[in-house]
Amino acid sequence: MTRRDKWLWTLMILVPEFVTPRMFTEAVAEVRSKKNPPGLDRARLETLEEGTCVQIMHVGPYATEPESIAKMDAYAKEHGFRMVGKHHEIYLGDPRRAAPSKLKTALRHPVAKG
């Protein structure tokens, strides 16, 4: 987890339910015609359905998240769950404005019985 250059991650942003694949395609085409930023070809419209999750509010720098993830893992095992699917994070602070010690991140990981 400490080798950030080895991480495989996806940046997601919540979009309203009324956004259709066609609307998304048209928006990408418009952005491409005006700015064409790097990585635009990797943008996609996707639904995340996670089901039952273990969640923790991590307060502190991103570098200390492994401690909170270990607590989630221990909690899941203690209650008969195992981690499945993709871990994800919901950032509730702005690292440009908040001190690292005050950053809040909701850490979530889908679980299944067994």
Neighbours of 5 (CB within 10 A): 4
Question: Would you say residue 98 has pLDDT above 70?
Answer: yes
Chain segment 33-59, per-residue pLDDT in tens: 999 999 999 999 998 888 999 999 999
How far does CA 8 lie from the centroid of its chain?
A: 11
What pLDDT is attached to residue 1?
Answer: 61
Per-residue pLDDT, averaged over 29-33, amounts to 96
Best CA proximity match to 9, nearest among 105, 69, 68, 87? 87
Which residues touch 106 (CB under 8 Å, ≥6 apart)? Answer: 55, 56, 57, 58, 89, 90, 92
Per-residue pLDDT, averaged over 96-100, amounts to 94
Across the chain, mean pLDDT equals 92
Q: Which domains, from first to last, does the chain contain?
A: 4-42 (no CATH), 53-113 (3.20.80.10)
